[in-house]
Structures are given as C-alpha cells and as structure tokens.
Structure 1
Amino acid sequence: MKDLRTITPDATKVNTGVKNPEKVAESLTQLLSGTYDLLIRTHEVHWNIEGPMFYSVHMLTEGQYGELFNATDVLAERIRALGQLAPIQPGGLVNPDAPKKDAAPATAEKMVEMLKDRHEALARLSHELVEIAEKAKDPVTADLATARSTVHEKAAWMLRSMIAH
C-alpha cells in the first residue's frame, strides 16, 4: 500500500477516445493562462476605474471577473480530466509578457480597450482550441471552448460598445 503522504500529482493516460490529449491540454493551458491573466486585469480595472464611466465599468467588470474566476476552475479540471497536470507554478498562470506594475495609469477608455482586446484574443484562442479539439475527437473540449468563445465575444462587444465614438 502506498504511503498517502508521498503521492504527487502526475500526468496519466486516459482512454476516453481523445486522440493526443496532451496537445488538447496544452491549448487548454494557454486558454487557462490567458483567462487567469484577464481575471487579474479585470480586477485592476474594477478597482482603479475613475470618471464618468466609473459605475458602468465597475459593475460590468464585477460580473466579468466572477465569471472568469469560475472559468479558471472549469478549464483546469478539463486539463486534469485529459490526464494532464494543470499549471503548478504561478508563472504558468500569469502572463510573463504583461506590462510591469510601474507603468503609468491608463485612462478609463484605455482600460476598457485593453479588456476588450484581451477578450477578443481569448475568443480567437478559443476558436483555435475548437479546431484542435475536433481534430482530436474531443467534443467535450470543443464544446467548452465554444462556450468560452461565446463569453469572450459578448464581453468584447459590451466593452467595445462602451468606448464607441
């Protein structure tokens, strides 16, 4: 019998019919990382927005960061269901190419535009994941990626509408 104190997580082989679950999980990990990064940025905007757009952006981002937080768990659990490990280190969840904290504060319009751009990027990444999942005969991940794209496209539309000229 194994000593339960020494069990460590490891990738495992699954036999559910998914072809190349490693590649699917790798794409899911990219989506998870982007979602987590957007969760943090959405909080930053939520906390720091000022001006005439304050209330509407503050309320919109509150709903968005809640949804994003829930999505991170769904994405990570799908990676595990494919027999792969979800990111273990914080660096695997946060975008290392993100602007540094000493950057000058942005205007409300720039903050909203940044969130819109990131939602659009995650929608594109979700579309790519649908194709990868379908080629791997993984309808579960394809459905998950389609749902994520729906969320990101709607969020981008709402944000885009806020800064339309």
Structure 2
Amino acid sequence: MKNVLLAAACLLLGGAAAHAQNPAATESKALQQRINQLMRNPAKPQQELRLDLKGCHATQTIRDNKADVQASAPISVSYNKGGEAGWAAKVSDGKFELALDFEWSEVEPLTYLRRKPEKGKDEAPYEIKIRRVRKGNTTNFELPLYTTDEKAVLDVVRRLEKVRQGCQ
C-alpha cells in the first residue's frame, strides 16, 4: 500500500512540476481559449473565428461552413514567401475559409476599439486592432470580440500585448 501511495504522490508531483516548468505555454493556451470564446458570434453559430498562438507565431482563421458562396469548382489561393507569415483562402459551394499567419515581432502595439453596433447589424461591440508592418508593407486586421464587458477586453489586450512584447 505504501508503494502505491508513493507512486501516486510521485505522479502527482511530477505532473505539477511539468506544469510549473512551462507556465508560458499554459498561459498561451488559456489566452487562446479565452480569445476564441470571445470571438464566437452568437448570431452565427456555424461561423468559426480562431486565433491560434504558437510561441511568437499566430494564425487567425475565419471559417464558415454555411457561407453564401457558390463556385463551379473549389478555389484555393495562398501566399507565403520564404517561410515567412502569409495568408490562404479557400472557397467552395457553401464553404469559406481565410487564414492569416503573422509573427508577433512584426506587430505594432495593440489597440482596441469599442463600436456601437448599428441597429439591425450583427457587429461585435469590441475589436482588437492589429497592425503588422513588414518590409514597407502594412497589413491591418481585427479580432472581433462579442462581449460588452470592457474589463474582459482590456484583460485580453493586456495578455496579448505581453505575448507581443515577449517576441520583440
């Protein structure tokens, strides 16, 4: 019985030590889950907006499996030069996907905007503004946040900014 308890204690301590050794990965995963939760549009459950965080690399994906698109043949277009961040788009009947890759080292300090959605329009109350500057080329894009809680938005922006600053 002592051996079983000792083995269980070692497993628990080993798991806790492994968890403690990589707090950045744990925070990144928690931040990713929180952002993806806030980007989910309750009025469009078939639409998926994701931000995948992998160290100093991120991918924003917009996917709609019930999109109002028609194509005689599937279309797929992408751009990626020399392993640098790029983009890809796929369209087929009823399906749309757009992915934008970027490195946090190319992103300027983050800002956010509170919008007052127009009546009858399905707009996110907040959006995080991302401005990527690379070799004279500037790309601006947003992460829509479907919440009215400004404290939640500020928390996400603060945590993302910490990731960005850690990659400079």
Global fold match (TM > 0.5): no
As a proportion of its length, which structure holds more strand? 2
As a proportion of its length, which structure holds more helix? 1
Q: Give the TM-score taking structure 2 as reference length.
A: 0.26
Q: Give the TM-score taking structure 1 as reference length.
A: 0.27
The one of the two structures with greater contact order (alpha-carbon pairs below 8 A, sep at least 6) is 1
Structure of larger gyration radius: 2
